[in-house]
């Protein structure tokens, strides 16, 4: 069996046909994976302050801002949210606060009113 090469040994391919074939996991979908588990900071939304301007909804890279049928923001879906903080940074009403994930997952989780 040939020893497999690492990227330094392969060198720079001269044409695309020289690039080694990559692997694809057929049937896999990121939709079913709770990628929000990578998060270290959690956005906490305050419905009293929110004016549903949709700035956060428009800019969230993980489609995690929830809206109702009339287009009003109703909360944040933490299933995919990575805690990047873009929503909190953009919010003109300071209606989203980033808090350490450890407040929600460690001992006493949920004790802060979530």
Phi, psi of 99 (to 5 degrees): -130, 150
Q: Show the tokens assigned to 6.
A: 């690492």
How many other CB atoms sit within 10 Å of the CB of residue 57?
A: 16
What's the min distance (Å) between Cβ of 85 and ligand SF4?
Answer: 5
What's the min distance (Å) between Cβ of 65 and ligand SF4?
Answer: 6
Q: Which residues bind ligand SF4 (CB under 6 A)?
A: 43, 45, 50-56, 60-62, 64-65, 73, 76, 81-87, 90-91, 93, 95-96
d(CA 37, CA 80): 8
Which residue bears the tokens 């990559």? 22
What's the min distance (Å) between Cβ of 26 and ligand SF4?
Answer: 28
**Given the complex with ligand SF4, which of 43 and 101 has the nearer CB atom?**
43
């Amino acid at each position: 069996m040939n020893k497999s090469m690492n990227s330094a040994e392969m060198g720079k391919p001269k044409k695309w046909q020289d690039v080694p074939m990559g692997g694809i996991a057929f049937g896999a979908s990121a939709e079913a994976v709770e990628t929000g588990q990578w998060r270290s900071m959690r956005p906490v939304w305050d419905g009293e302050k929110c004016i549903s301007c949709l700035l956060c909804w428009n800019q969230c890279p993980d489609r995690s801002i929830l809206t109702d049928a009339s287009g009003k923001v109703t909360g944040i879906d933490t299933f995919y949210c990575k805690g990047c903080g873009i929503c909190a940074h953009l919010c003109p009403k300071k209606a989203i606060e980033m808090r350490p994930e450890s407040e929600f997952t460690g001992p006493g989780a949920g004790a802060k009113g979530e």
